[in-house]
Chain A
């Protein structure tokens, strides 16, 4: 067996032009799949990060409504319990309540979120999307969306009245943000938790947004969190809160799987074609081997081993090539803003950073190797079964 493997390897090395062309085709296909896979992972990362950063967190604890003092106490308790969790990158307390914001010119129904400005500044994109005034730097005032600010005809420094079911609060506009998502820019406003402390008459829903260090930690974090929450509180993962984003991720993965399948099928035909031509070129050669006493099974092994060596080397070269391109590309990213400017899932960041995952780096080479070997079966059978008498006359 070892002799036939060595024989096949020598045969590949001897027929350099054929081997190099076949290798190049497979390697190029594998490299393409690795790069495309990394781009797909990068697109999904960007979508998830954008959605999670704006809307939720990777894991969200929600509860309430509670009176404001109790809600503030509860979020402090949860912060204390969860902040030391090693899988968590950030823990953000948020209080939600509806209000009607009224200016001299107009009024607008607004969903108000009380946040910790220091923590939010590290994670959420709102800080980077201030188009006028400042973020909640001094824990003061109201941060309003661009569309709402236009409707109310207010600018930073102006005063508005925030009307809640129980009370009215006079607040100064500290800044205006624009996330480029109409729903947010029209109906969201932020105040600091410190400001919320003064609104003791309000009933609010509390929320703790948890940002994981890695997507793979999601399950572990959810389990830890479940132990710390009350029965009245709900723990949800980002894909439960944002099923449309989760579906888009699945759709991307499905499209990629189809792409992988198509490329692998094309590769297989390429391998089968290259080997079949090589076998047809060598009918005489195999006839000589058979005349010496080589069995059809051993001829089959030679062809299969040739396919294995070529596909293995090509898969390794393709993976190295694809990984190298991805790693270089991952440094500067791929700016998709021309194609995503109207897409809410890319509104915060439209630069995609291709990312290698073990699956996307290894699957193309394993598939190329497997399909290449399968594709070699037919040419190998042809070589093994060809009657010698048809070719002996040319000897």
Chain B
């Protein structure tokens, strides 16, 4: 059990009620070991985003139990969930999801600010990660001035700078051309390996999931 990052037991999630009730996840059970890099594949509507939301403590299952790094996240209050996310989870969304009023450096620094890191440490870690991803020249730029690929690489930096235990990525290359997508995937690989992160990436792009060691396929809310 020691090296189990996530334990998902008989988890179901429904949306709506009565006749319009939709089963997003149907009695899912699986485990992920710490340091694993898992591709969550399946067509649109198969439940990938719902599963990522549950694993990121963004929502709670209607039934079943989710344990992340020993913590039962489905019993957490909203504040406890927020605190759990700020320390343990990094998110990469379909598009960049950067804060337009913050510079690139400030966007990247945000998770470290939330965990109250020292200013000098924040400065040095931001500089290092931006240099690693060849983004240092954009340090003081605002997100709207960057290209889609550059923004997404900044989002990758922001997702991992606080060295979360779990990195969740929801189709991070969906809106990018193949060259930009390759750069983003390289960045994710580089940082996930450097920080030994457990990673779950939802995708239906074969070029993406071929890069990952394990695959889990969802269809109509069930594991295939």
Q: How far is the CA of A289 from the CA of B82 in the complex (A)?
A: 10
* Contact yes or no, B99 A291, CB < 8 A: no
Contacts of B158 in A (CB 8 A): 292
Q: A292-B110, A293-B111, A392-B49 are in contact. Are A7 and B59 (CB under 8 A)?
A: no
Q: How far is the CA of A8 from the CA of B49 in the complex (A)?
A: 30
Interface 9-mer from A9-17, A41-49, A164-172, A245-253 = A9-17
Is A388 on the interface with B (CB-CB < 8 A)? yes
User: Nearest-CB distance from B215 to chain A (Å)?
Assistant: 23
Is B56 on the interface with A (CB-CB < 8 A)? yes
Residue of A nearest to B91 (CB): A291
* Contact yes or no, A389 B53, CB < 8 A: yes
Give the total of B residues in contact with A, Cβ under 8 Å. Answer: 30
* Contact yes or no, A395 B93, CB < 8 A: yes
* A285, A289, A293, A389: residue with the most chain B Cβ atoms closer than 10 Å: A293
Q: How far is the CA of A297 from the CA of B114 in the complex (A)?
A: 13
Contact pick for B101, options A14, A294, A392, A393, CB 8 Å: A14
CB neighbors of B among A274-304 (8 A): 284-285, 288-297
* Contact yes or no, A293 B101, CB < 8 A: no
Q: How far is the CA of A389 from the CA of B49 in the complex (A)?
A: 10
Q: A3-B113, A293-B87 are in contact. Are A13 and B101 (CB under 8 A)?
A: yes
Contact pick for A292, options B53, B79, B86, CB 8 Å: B86
* Contact yes or no, A392 B58, CB < 8 A: yes
* Contact yes or no, B59 A395, CB < 8 A: no
Is B85 on the interface with A (CB-CB < 8 A)? yes
* Contact yes or no, A294 B93, CB < 8 A: no
Q: Mark A13-36, 1 if CB is under 8 A from B, else 0.
A: 110000000000000000000000
Q: Mark A355-390, 1 if CB is under 8 A from B, else 0.
A: 000000000000000000000000000000001110
Contact pick for B78, options A3, A11, A291, A296, CB 8 Å: A296
Q: How far is the CA of A97 from the CA of B95 in the complex (A)?
A: 94
User: Nearest-CB distance from B168 to chain A (Å)?
Assistant: 9
Contacts of A289 in B (CB 8 A): 99
* Contact yes or no, A291 B85, CB < 8 A: yes
Q: Mark B71-94, 1 if CB is under 8 A from A, else 0.
A: 000000011001111110101011
Contacts of B110 in A (CB 8 A): 292
Contacts of A387 in B (CB 8 A): 59
Q: How far is the CA of A292 from the CA of B95 in the complex (A)?
A: 15
Q: A14-B100, A292-B86, A293-B114 are in contact. Are A389 and B95 (CB under 8 A)?
A: no
* Contact yes or no, B97 A395, CB < 8 A: yes
Contacts of B79 in A (CB 8 A): 295-297
Q: How far is the CA of A375 from the CA of B130 in the complex (A)?
A: 41
* Contact yes or no, A395 B94, CB < 8 A: yes
CB neighbors of B among A292-322 (8 A): 292-297
* Contact yes or no, A10 B102, CB < 8 A: yes
Contacts of A291 in B (CB 8 A): 56, 58, 85, 91, 93
* Contact yes or no, B170 A293, CB < 8 A: no
Contacts of B87 in A (CB 8 A): 293
Interfacial residues, chain A to chain B (CB-CB below 8 A): 3, 7, 10-11, 13-14, 284-285, 288-297, 387-389, 392-393, 395
27 residue pairs from A and B, CB less than 8 Å apart: A3-B113, A10-B101, A10-B102, A11-B101, A14-B100, A285-B99, A288-B97, A288-B99, A290-B58, A290-B82, A291-B56, A291-B58, A291-B91, A292-B111, A292-B114, A293-B85, A293-B86, A293-B87, A293-B111, A295-B78, A388-B58, A389-B53, A389-B59, A392-B58, A392-B59, A393-B49, A395-B93
Interfacial residues, chain B to chain A (CB-CB below 8 A): 49, 53, 56, 58-59, 78-79, 82-87, 89, 91, 93-95, 97, 99-102, 110-111, 113-115, 158, 170
Query: 10 closest A-B pairs (Cβ-Cβ)?
Result: A293-B86, A389-B59, A10-B101, A14-B101, A395-B93, A293-B85, A295-B82, A288-B97, A388-B58, A291-B91
Given contacts A293-B115, A295-B79, A395-B97, 15 further A-B contacts (CB under 8 A): A7-B99, A11-B101, A288-B97, A288-B99, A290-B58, A290-B85, A291-B58, A292-B86, A292-B111, A293-B84, A295-B83, A389-B53, A392-B49, A395-B93, A395-B94
